[in-house]
């Protein structure tokens, strides 16, 4: 069974197809995609699809902007020395560069200071402020840092420095006492857009200065560097950020900045459209390398130099250091994985916290990201030096790492960041207690789905919907990135052809069809799926839409991101496995499934899901299908879609839970306001048990004739045993000892009528009679034939149990 490791989550209210809305300036599907990003009316849609500078907000809407601009202009007029204090990452480098260039161009006496990552660490520090004051500085402007520098701001004030803080990070309970604090995340700031990167806030300061200097037309040349910093800082590419990035990407191919031009060349750029991927994986790592394992000032010198030879030299240095950084990162990653295996029980660990004295502080953030992606858990990596642990945290969607650190602040000396990433430091002796505490916090905050990777889908589409016009319309949403991801869709289609492609067969080429239309699809890294899929199989896929040009032919193409069986096939598969689990667990045979319940309510979908927290128990495949149809037909009556669980695997309690073939003794009924039997339980003993556990039981009166009919499809006959045994022997002769359950099902159904339950039951009989050993691991069967001796199937207790179960249902029906 091909089952995705990801949770497919539909954005918006429903995954149903959209009705066309002629009121909007875009197609119905495009309207749905935009609506999922909070863009709901025609004006907002046009603003998003056609961003320009006129859509930027007045910079003086930012709190303290007027004070900051006036103070800086006063300082420039009096030739007072201004020092820009930046961070050593890409956001800080680009922020420092554009502000330095603007102030210099307009006659400012300006310098800059970037702290050393290793010696000084993140943010303002006392020694640096003293050093800057001694250099003759009267005004310090922070960029991309400073919002947590409470003590440092007091020190600057004592020295007579006018401190202007510009930042975009989350604010802590106490703000620094600076001359001016510009941060859209301040509670008192009413600026309409809160998600600017540090370079975005810096550009707003430049915009404010330019308005008062009446040189506004000179600032747009910096937009390419603003775009680099914005994308590199992984902020949401909506609203003003979208304007910065869209306009910046348009100007980068012909950039005026010789440093950026040199950096593009060493990154392998050979022309064409700029993408967030080029920035994130090409430009940003090289700039970051300057501050991670070297001197971040080189990144600024690269952007501000007027000498082409200097720019080329610095770009090549950064390229070399990026290679060194990659080697160091790989070493840290390998050592971190060893530590995780030795020190952590991942089954019971929600937040990975590890530390070492061997690691370079400048590289652990990247390693933390890779470990987070591998294990899909919030990850904190720290390097220990002189009794202090300094580290980087990376999180998963649904777990705010900044709030988690705030809640654990008693262990920390310093911390800062945002929902998905943060930096921190603590005495090394606190690490073990901190690990325990933050995991306890996570246990209370996370639900069962937090640690399941998620793919967010915009809508369900059909093959007939896909055409060049639609794909071209969707490309208007570029550039993609955080907050504006490439639209993804679910689709079902029949496989017309399938084959692995690429040098090592690592990729997958599929042609989908719906009998009327065919569309080509490519899945990078999905080559292994070719072993389990075949011509004619109907499959569900997550796809992005793109235009493919080949041999002067232009056509739509599906970029396949994930695959699984259709919802119907998946439901059938899980149903038979759940019934198999229940059959193995239930020793007592059903004596009477025609149960007269104490309280009978003829429930329908209208009052089945009535807003109360509800648990529904269903037992036959026929009634499971009927229930899901009822829910789909009446989904307008309730807000939350029920979650389906199988056997006893009922995890976190949701508004509506459906458990198929439940093992009653293992179900936790506490917390549900309503428990409903959708059809009779298989066993009378299970019914007696549920009456002890549940005070009031609701009932949807369903005939138990269905149970009898379903049993008939589950009892194997001699032909079933023979077909399965012959195929197992064939596999053994080919030296094959493991096989997917799906494969056995497909092969056996060529000569018999089988299902998953029946195959596993037959395997149990073979095992019991000593013919073979086997082990089943959810979808994989490992086996070894032990004997070719003749046996009597009637000697199998497993088979006799199944036969007796069927007879009881027959007798129940005859007795009515």
Is the torsion defined by CA of 638, 640, 645, 649 positive or negative? Answer: negative
Residue-wise pLDDT for 254-294, tens only, equals 999 999 999 999 999 988 889 988 998 899 989 988 766 66
**CA 615 to the chain's CA centroid:** 28
Question: CB-side exposure of 343: number of CA atoms within 13 Å?
Answer: 15
- Cβ contacts of 550 within 8 Å, gap of 6 or more: none
pLDDT value at 570 more than 70: yes
The pLDDT, as a whole number, for residue 510 is 95
pLDDT bracket for residue 512 (50, 70, 90): very high
pLDDT of 598 > 70? The answer is no
- pLDDT of the residue at 600: 53
Supply the pLDDT for residue 632. 81
Longest dimension (CA), the chain: 105
Q: How many whole angstroms separate alpha carbon 209 and alpha carbon 686?
A: 76
Q: Is the pLDDT of residue 654 over 90?
A: no
Residue 816 confidence (pLDDT): 47
Which strands make up the sheet holding 352-356, listed edge to edge? 352-356, 379-385, 388-394, 421-427, 414-417
Average pLDDT in the chain:
89
Angle (nearest 5°) at CA 396 between 391 and 400: 75
Question: Exposed, middle or buried by CB within 10 Å (0-12, 13-18, 19+), for 772?
Answer: middle
pLDDT at 430: 95
> Does residue 328 carry a pLDDT above 50?
yes
In which residue are the tokens 């090592």 written? 504
The yes-or-no verdict on residue 812 having pLDDT over 60 is no
pLDDT tens-digit readout, 696-726: 888 887 766 788 788 888 999 999 999 999 9
Three-state DSSP state, 736: coil
Torsion over CA: 732, 734, 740, 743 (sign): negative
The pLDDT, as a whole number, for residue 15 is 46
Residue 1 has pLDDT above 70, yes or no: no
For the segment 33-61, the average pLDDT, to the nearest whole number, is 92
pLDDT recorded at residue 17:
44
Chain centre distance of CA 109: 46
Residues making up the chain, counted from first to last: 816
Structure tokens at 730: 């064939």
Other beta carbons less than 10 A from residue 528's beta carbon: 11
CA 591 from chain centre, in angstroms, equals: 48
pLDDT (tens digit per residue) in 446-490:
987 889 899 999 999 999 999 999 999 999 999 998 889 999 999
Among 148-157, 659-668, 688-697, the minimum mean pLDDT is found in 688-697
pLDDT of residue 590: 54
Whether residue 83 is predicted with pLDDT greater than 70 in this model: the reply is yes
Residues 782-803 have pLDDT tens digits of 999 998 888 899 899 999 988 8
Per-residue model confidence (pLDDT) at position 528: 86
661: number of Cβ within 10 Å: 27
Q: Which domains does the chain have, with CATH numbers?
A: 7-17+455-564 (2.40.50.460), 54-321 (3.90.1640.30), 344-445 (3.10.310.30), 568-710 (no CATH), 713-813 (1.10.10)
In tens, the pLDDT along 733-744 reads 999 998 888 888
Residue 18: band (very low, low, confident or very high) from pLDDT cuts 50, 70, 90: very low
| Distance of alpha carbon 175 from the chain centroid | 33
pLDDT at 16: 46
Confidence grade of residue 303 (pLDDT, cut at 50, 70, 90):
very high
The reported pLDDT for the residue numbered 408 is 94
Q: Classify 122 as helix, strand or coil.
A: coil
> Which pTM value belongs to this model?
0.78
Tell me if 430 sits within 8 A of 476, measured CB to CB.
Answer: no
Q: What's the mean pLDDT in 99-108?
A: 96
Highest-pLDDT range among 294-298, 618-622, 631-635: 618-622
Is residue 806 pLDDT above 70, yes or no? Answer: yes
- Tell me if 146 sits within 8 A of 171, measured CB to CB: no
Task: Provide the token pair at 462.
Answer: 């059909």
Average pLDDT over residues 618-632: 89
| More confident call, 119 vs 599 | 119
DSSP secondary structure letters along 191-254: -S-----HHHHHHHHHHHHHHHHT-GGGSGGGHHHHHHHHHHTT---SHHHHHHHHHHHHHGGG
For β-strands 656-660 and 643-646, DSSP reports them as parallel
Q: Which long-range contacts (CB under 8 A, 24 or more apart) does 688-692 make?
A: 689/664, 689/665, 690/664, 691/598
Which strands sit side by side in the sheet containing 643-646, from one edge to the other?
643-646, 656-660, 614-618, 674-677, 697-699
Predicted confidence (pLDDT) per residue in 370-407, tens digit = 999 999 999 999 999 889 999 999 999 899 999 999 99
804-816 core/surface letters (b: 16 or more CB in 10 A; e: else): ebeebbeebbeee
How far, in Å, CA of 202 to CA of 222, rounded? 11
């Amino acid at each position: 069974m091909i089952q995705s490791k990801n949770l497919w989550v539909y954005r918006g209210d429903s995954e149903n197809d959209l009705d066309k809305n002629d009121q909007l300036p875009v197609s119905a599907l495009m309207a749905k995609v935009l609506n999922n990003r909070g863009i709901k009316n025609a004006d907002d849609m046009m603003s998003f699809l056609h961003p320009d500078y006129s859509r930027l907000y007045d910079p003086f809407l930012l709190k303290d902007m007027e004070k900051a601009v006036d103070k800086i202009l006063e300082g420039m007029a009096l030739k007072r020395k201004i020092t820009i204090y930046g961070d050593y990452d890409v956001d800080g480098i680009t922020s420092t560069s554009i502000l330095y260039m603007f102030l210099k161009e307009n006659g400012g006496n300006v310098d800059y200071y970037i702290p050393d990552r290793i010696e000084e660490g993140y943010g303002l520090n006392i020694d640096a402020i003293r050093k800057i004051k001694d250099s003759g500085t009267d005004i310090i402007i922070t960029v991309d840092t400073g919002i947590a520098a409470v003590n440092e701001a007091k020190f600057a004030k004592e020295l007579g420095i006018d401190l202007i803080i510009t930042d975009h990070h989350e604010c802590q309970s106490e703000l620094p006492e600076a001359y001016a604090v510009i941060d859209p995340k301040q509670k008192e700031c009413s600026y309409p857009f809160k998600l600017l990167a540090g370079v975005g806030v810096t550009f707003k300061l430049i915009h404010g200065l330019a308005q008062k200097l009446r040189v506004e037309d000179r600032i747009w040349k910096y937009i390419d560097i603003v775009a680099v910093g914005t994308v590199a800082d992984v902020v949401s590419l909506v609203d003003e950020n979208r304007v910065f990035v869209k306009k910046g990407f348009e100007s980068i191919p012909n950039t005026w900045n010789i440093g950026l031009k040199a950096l593009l060349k060493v990154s392998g750029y050979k022309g064409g459209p700029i993408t967030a991927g080029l920035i994130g994986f090409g430009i940003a790592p090289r700039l970051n390398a300057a501050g991670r394992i070297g001197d971040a000032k080189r990144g600024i010198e690269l952007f501000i130099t007027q000498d082409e030879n200097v720019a080329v030299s610095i770009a090549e240095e950064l390229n070399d250091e990026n290679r060194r950084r990659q080697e160091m990162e790989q070493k840290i990653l390998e050592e971190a994985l060893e530590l995780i295996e030795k020190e952590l029980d991942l089954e019971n660990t929600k937040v990975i916290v590890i530390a070492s004295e061997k690691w370079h502080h400048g590289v652990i953030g990247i390693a933390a990201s890779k470990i987070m992606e591998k294990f899909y858990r919030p990850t904190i990596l720290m390097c220990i030096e002189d009794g202090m642990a300094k580290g980087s945290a990376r999180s998963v969607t649904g777990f705010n790492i900044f709030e988690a650190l705030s809640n654990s602040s008693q262990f920390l000396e310093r911390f800062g960041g945002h929902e998905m990433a943060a930096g921190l430091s603590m005495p090394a002796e606190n690490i073990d207690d901190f690990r325990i505490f933050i995991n306890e916090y996570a246990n209370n905050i996370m639900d069962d789905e937090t640690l399941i990777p998620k793919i967010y889908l915009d809508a369900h589409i059909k093959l007939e919907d896909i055409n060049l016009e639609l794909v071209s319309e969707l490309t208007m949403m570029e550039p993609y990135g955080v907050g504006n991801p490439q639209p993804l869709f679910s689709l079902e289609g029949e496989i017309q052809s399938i084959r692995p492609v690429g040098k090592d067969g690592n990729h997958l080429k599929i042609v989908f069809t719906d009998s009327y239309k065919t569309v080509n699809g490519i899945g990078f890294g999905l080559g292994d799926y070719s072993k389990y899929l075949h011509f004619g199989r109907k499959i569900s896929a997550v796809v992005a839409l793109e235009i493919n040009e080949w041999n002067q032919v232009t056509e739509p193409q599906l970029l396949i991101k994930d695959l699984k069986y259709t919802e119907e096939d998946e439901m059938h598969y899980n149903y038979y496995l759940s019934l198999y689990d229940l059959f193995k667990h239930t020793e007592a045979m059903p004596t009477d499934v025609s149960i007269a319940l104490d309280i009978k309510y003829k429930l329908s979908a209208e009052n089945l899901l009535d807003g109360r927290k509800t648990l529904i128990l269903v037992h036959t495949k026929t009634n499971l299908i009927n229930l899901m149809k009822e829910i789909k037909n009446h989904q307008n009556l309730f807000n939350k879609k029920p979650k389906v669980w199988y056997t006893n695997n009922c995890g976190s309690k949701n508004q509506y839970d459906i458990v198929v073939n439940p093992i009653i003794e293992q179900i936790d009924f506490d917390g549900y306001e309503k428990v409903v039997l959708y059809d009779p339980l298989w066993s009378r003993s299970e019914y007696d048990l549920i009456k002890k556990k549940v005070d009031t039981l609701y009932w949807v009166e369903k005939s138990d004739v269905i149970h009898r009919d379903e049993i008939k499809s589950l009892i194997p006959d001699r032909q079933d045993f023979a077909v399965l045994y012959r195929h197992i022997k064939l596999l053994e002769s080919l030296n094959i000892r493991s096989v997917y359950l799906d494969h056995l099902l497909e092969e056996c159904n060529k000569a018999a009528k089988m299902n998953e339950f029946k195959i596993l039951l037959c395997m149990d009989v073979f095992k019991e009679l000593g013919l073979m050993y086997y082990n089943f691991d959810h979808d994989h069967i490992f086996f070894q034939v032990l004997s070719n001796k003749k046996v009597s199937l009637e000697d199998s207790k497993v088979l006799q149990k199944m036969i007796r179960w069927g007879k009881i249902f027959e007798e129940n029906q005859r007795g009515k």
